[in-house]
C-alpha cells in the first residue's frame, strides 16, 4: 500500500474499508454485472455502515473526511465492485455545486438527506451534441416569474432512474455560449421530468446510465444553484474535484485485477512450476504493480492539493485521471492474459474488471481532453497567463 501522506488514521480507515467491502459489497458484484441491476444490497450496506457520511462536512451531518480519505473510500469499493463505487462518487458530485454555490437553505434541505442515505443524486451535464464540448448544450431554462421552465434532454447520466434529485446544467441564454449556462436542482417528482432510454453497456453494468428528459419542467427559482450564467465555471470546478476520484476508481479496479492475478499466478501450476515462477509473468506483475502505485500517488497528490487549496489543482487532477485510467486498462488487460483462458470467462472477476476499466478513460472528460487540459496549464505556467 502507498505510504504517500497517509496518517495512521488513513491507514486504519483503509483496513476498515477493506473489511467492509470484502464482506458487504463483493458478494453482490458479479450478480449486479450479470443482471445489469442496481446493487441495492450493496448500497444499503454502504448506508448502514456509516461510510456514506465520510465525504461530507460535519455541518451537514457528515464526518468531514478529507479528499484523500474520500479517494480511499472510492478506491476500496471499486476494488471489489466498480458499479458500487459509482453510487459512492456520483451523489457527491451532484452535491458539489450545491455545497459550493447553492443557498444555505437549498443545501440544508438536500445534503442531510444524501448523508443519511435517504436521497441519491445525479450530475446532468452531457447532451447528444455536447459531450466534451459542454458549451454546445441546448437544454434551455426560461425564467417565468418565481420559477424557471426547463426543456431539453441529457444523456449518459449515471444513476438515471435511481436518483431522487438531478443537478442539471442548462442555458439561460442560448446566444452567450458558455457564459449563458446556469445550473438547477431538479427533483424527480417535478411534472414534465422523465427518464428516457437506459443504455445497455459493456461495463459498470450494475450502475444505470440513461437519458433524462425535460418537457416544460417548472423549477422553483430557489432551486437555481448560485448565480445565473455562472454554470460553466461551476461545472469545470466540480470536474477538477471529481477527476482524481475517478482516478481513484480506476486505481481500485486495477488493484482488484492485480490481486486476482497474483493469487492465480501463485496457485496455478504449469510445466511443474507455479505460473508465478516464470520470469515473463514476473515482469508483467512488476510492471502492473509499479504503474498502479504511480497512479495511486498521482491520485493522492491531486487530492492533497485540493485539500490544501493550492495552485495547480486542475493540472494535477487531469494527470491523475489520465494516468490512472490508462493504467487500469493495461493492468486489467494483463490480468486477463495472466489468467489465460479462465481470465476470459465470467467465473473469474478479471474480465468484468477489464470491461469496467474502459469507461474510466471516457467519462469525466476523455483522456484526450485531460491531455489538452494538462498542455494548456503547462503553457499557462510558461507564459504567466
First to last CA, the chain: 38
200 — pLDDT class (breaks 50, 70, 90): very high
pLDDT for 83 equals 98
Within 102-166, residue ranges assigned H as helices are 104-115
Q: Can you tell me the distance from the alpha carbon of 219 to that of 227, in angstroms, rounded to the nearest whole number?
A: 15
In a domain, 328, yes or no: yes
pLDDT for 379 equals 94
pTM score of the predicted model: 0.94
Taking residues 292-321, report their average pLDDT.
Answer: 93
Pair (70, 175) in one structural domain: no
Cell of 127: 447532451
| CATH code, domain with 46 | 1.10.540.10
Cell of 201: 453497456
The domain of 86 spans: 8-115
Q: Which helix (H) or strand (E) holds 99?
A: helix 82-101
In a domain, 2, yes or no: no
Pair (63, 76) in one structural domain: yes
| CATH code, domain with 134 | 2.40.110.10
Q: Can you tell me the distance from the alpha carbon of 55 to that of 110, in angstroms, rounded to the nearest whole number?
A: 15
Q: Which residues are annotated as catalytic?
A: 364
Cell of 158: 449515471
In a domain, 286, yes or no: yes
User: pLDDT tens for residues 332-377?
Assistant: 999 999 999 999 999 899 999 999 999 999 998 899 999 999 999 9
385 — pLDDT class (breaks 50, 70, 90): low
Pair (216, 253) in one structural domain: no
Amino acid at each position: 500500500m502507498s505510504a504517500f501522506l497517509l496518517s495512521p488514521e488513513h491507514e486504519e480507515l483503509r483496513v476498515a474499508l477493506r473489511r467492509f467491502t470484502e464482506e458487504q459489497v463483493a458478494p453482490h458484484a458479479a450478480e449486479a454485472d450479470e443482471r445489469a441491476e442496481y446493487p441495492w444490497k450493496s448500497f444499503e450496506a454502504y448506508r448502514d455502515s456509516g461510510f456514506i457520511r465520510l465525504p461530507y462536512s460535519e455541518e451537514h451531518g457528515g464526518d468531514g473526511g478529507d479528499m484523500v480519505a474520500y479517494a480511499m473510500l472510492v478506491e476500496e469499493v471499486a476494488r471489489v465492485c466498480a458499479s458500487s463505487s459509482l453510487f459512492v462518487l456520483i451523489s457527491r458530485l451532484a452535491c458539489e455545486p450545491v455545497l459550493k454555490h447553492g443557498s444555505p437553505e437549498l443545501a440544508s434541505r438536500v445534503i442531510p438527506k444524501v448523508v443519511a442515505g435517504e436521497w441519491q443524486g445525479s450530475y446532468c451535464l452531457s447532451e447528444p451534441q455536447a459531450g466534451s464540448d459542454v458549451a454546445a448544450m441546448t437544454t434551455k431554462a426560461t425564467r417565468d416569474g418565481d420559477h424557471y421552465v426547463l426543456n431539453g434532454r441529457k444523456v449518459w447520466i449515471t444513476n438515471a432512474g435511481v436518483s431522487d434529485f438531478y443537478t442539471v446544467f442548462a442555458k439561460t441564454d442560448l446566444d452567450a455560449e458558455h457564459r449563458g449556462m446556469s445550473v438547477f436542482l431538479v427533483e424527480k417528482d417535478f411534472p414534465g421530468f422523465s427518464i428516457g432510454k437506459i443504455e445497455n453497456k459493456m461495463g459498470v453494468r450494475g450502475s444505470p446510465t440513461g437519458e433524462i428528459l425535460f418537457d416544460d419542467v417548472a423549477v422553483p427559482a430557489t432551486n437555481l444553484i448560485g448565480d445565473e450564467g455562472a454554470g460553466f465555471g461551476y461545472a469545470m470546478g466540480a470536474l477538477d474535484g471529481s477527476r482524481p476520484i475517478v482516478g481513484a476508481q480506476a486505481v481500485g479496479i486495477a488493484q482488484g485485477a492485480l490481486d486476482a492475478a497474483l493469487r492465480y499466478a501463485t496457485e496455478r501450476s504449469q510445466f511443474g512450476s507455479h505460473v508465478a515462477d516464470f520470469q515473463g509473468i514476473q515482469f508483467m506483475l512488476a510492471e502492473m504493480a509499479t504503474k498502479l502505485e504511480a497512479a495511486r500517488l498521482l491520485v493522492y497528490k491531486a487530492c492533497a492539493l485540493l485539500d490544501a487549496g493550492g495552485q495547480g489543482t486542475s493540472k494535477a487532477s487531469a494527470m491523475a485521471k489520465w494516468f490512472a485510467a490508462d493504467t487500469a486498462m493495461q493492468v486489467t488487460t494483463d490480468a486477463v492474459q495472466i489468467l489465460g483462458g479462465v481470465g476470459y470467462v465470467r467465473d473469474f472477476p478479471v474480465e468484468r474488471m477489464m470491461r469496467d476499466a474502459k469507461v474510466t478513460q471516457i467519462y469525466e472528460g476523455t483522456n484526450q481532453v485531460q491531455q489538452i487540459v494538462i498542455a494548456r496549464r503547462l503553457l499557462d505556467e510558461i507564459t504567466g497567463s
